[in-house]
């Protein structure tokens, strides 16, 4: 019985630590490599509250657009904004202080993105 209780407690601690470790709050900077061969700088400011992500994203600190939808599921982060007529979506994977993944415009993949946490 004690063995089961200990294992149950250990599993709970690992799950809680995993959730805590995946906090994406902060400033992230990097670049997007687009399918047409061009690249563009990227700057993302995120605020995580549980599984919900809010904030802004854009090419620089000076040019930011509100995140209209955002979420975290373990190491998977999805954010989207509408900087113009099209919806821009980033589908990312968190690895330590890096977010990497794909960029979509109106659900069509247009490139990849690589971000590093600027305020470590």
Q: Can you give the pTM of this predicted structure?
A: 0.81
Q: Which residue has 């089961």 as its token pair?
A: 4
Q: Which domains does the chain have, with CATH numbers?
A: 24-117 (2.40.128.120)
pLDDT in tens for each of the 120 residues of the chain?
554 544 444 333 434 434 444 799 999 999 999 999 999 999 999 999 999 999 999 999 999 999 999 999 999 999 999 999 999 999 999 999 999 999 999 999 999 999 999 976
The 10 Å CB-count burial string (b at 16+, else e) for 34-60 is eeeeeeeebbbbbebeeeebbbbbbee
Residue 16 makes CB contacts below 8 A (sequence gap 6+) with none
């Amino acid at each position: 019985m004690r063995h089961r209780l200990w294992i149950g407690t250990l599993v709970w601690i690992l799950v809680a630590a995993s959730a805590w470790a995946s906090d994406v709050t902060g400033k992230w900077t990097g670049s997007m490599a687009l399918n047409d061969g061009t690249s563009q700088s990227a700057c993302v400011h995120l605020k995580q509250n549980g599984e919900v992500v809010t904030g802004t994203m854009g090419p620089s600190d000076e040019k930011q657009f509100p995140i209209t939808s955002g979420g975290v599921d373990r190491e998977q982060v999805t954010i989207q904004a509408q900087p113009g007529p099209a919806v821009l979506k980033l589908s990312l994977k968190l690895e330590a202080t890096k977010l990497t993944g794909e960029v979509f415009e109106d659900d069509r993949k247009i490139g990849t993105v690589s971000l590093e946490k600027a305020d470590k």
